[in-house]
Amino acid sequence: MNQLLNFLFRYNQLILEGLQETMYMVGLSLLFAVLLGVPLGVITTITREDNIFPNKAINNLLNGVINIGRSIPFIILLVAVIPFTRMIVGTSIGTTAAVVPLALAAIPFMGRIVDNALLEIDQGVIESAEAMGATPWQIVYKVLLPEALPAIILGITLTAISLVSYSAMAGAVGGGGLGDIAIRYGYQRFKLGIMIETIIILVVVVQLIQWAGNKLANSFDHRN
């Protein structure tokens, strides 16, 4: 047993660094996803016909952006945005550079999740706010967002988990992180221990994110 543990933890330092890099990539791109994806989703929802701020042009545009963003395979996005990444980060290699394609993939994903979460809200509740004379903006931050908060938190959780797996892919093309380690050491150098260890850590990270997300969402959910 001890031997096995020793075997597994020979590359402790390496894996710890990889974990940190993964967290950095996921955390930062998740931050962008929330900061930009939530407004994207909100505006998409409220500009729908029959919603509180109907605007067909904006709605079509944002819907298009979300759909296109979501239909590009990540591996292609990763390569396609390299010039753009260079432009804003200065380089296309490294964890910070990896954040660009990760965020670009996560923003429309988050946007659609928020859009769906808001559409789940009972129309009657929104209507009652309108009947009280609430402005569209008041409805957004006093009705839509609080009422959809549990669903949005679960959506952020889902996005975070997707980002963990995407970050492994981004890592493989020069971004670092656990995925990079798993491929470079585990796959290319046949170090099965490292491969298993990184996978175990990724599984644990994903479980933890899901657990925390569920807990948080539950604490905001007063529907029953």
Does residue 223 touch another protein according to CB under 8 A?
A: yes
Instruction: Kindly state whether residue 218 participates in binding another protein, applying the rule CB under 8 A.
Output: no
Short-list 54, 61, 75, CA closest to 166: 75
User: What single letter denotes the amino acid at residue 148?
Assistant: A
Residue 134 Rama label (left phi>0; alpha psi -120 to 50; beta): beta
One character per residue 132-171, x = contact with another protein (rule: CB under 8 A): xxxx--x---xx--xx-x----------------------
Tell the smallest beta-carbon distance from residue 144 to another protein (Å).
Answer: 10
For another protein, the closer CB: 72 or 121? 121
Q: Which stretch binds another protein (CB under 8 A): 60-68, 104-112, 125-133, 156-164?
A: 125-133
Q: How far is the CB of 187 from another protein (least distance, A)?
A: 47
Binding mask 81-120 for another protein (x = CB under 8 A): ----------------------------------------
Distance CA 100, CA 105 (A): 9
Residue 222 near another protein by CB under 8 A: yes
CA dist 101 → 25, 133, 157 (Å): 10, 42, 19
Between helices 12-46 and 56-71, what is the axis angle to 10°? 150
Binding site for another protein (CB under 8 A): 122, 124-125, 127-135, 138, 142-143, 146-147, 149, 220, 222-224
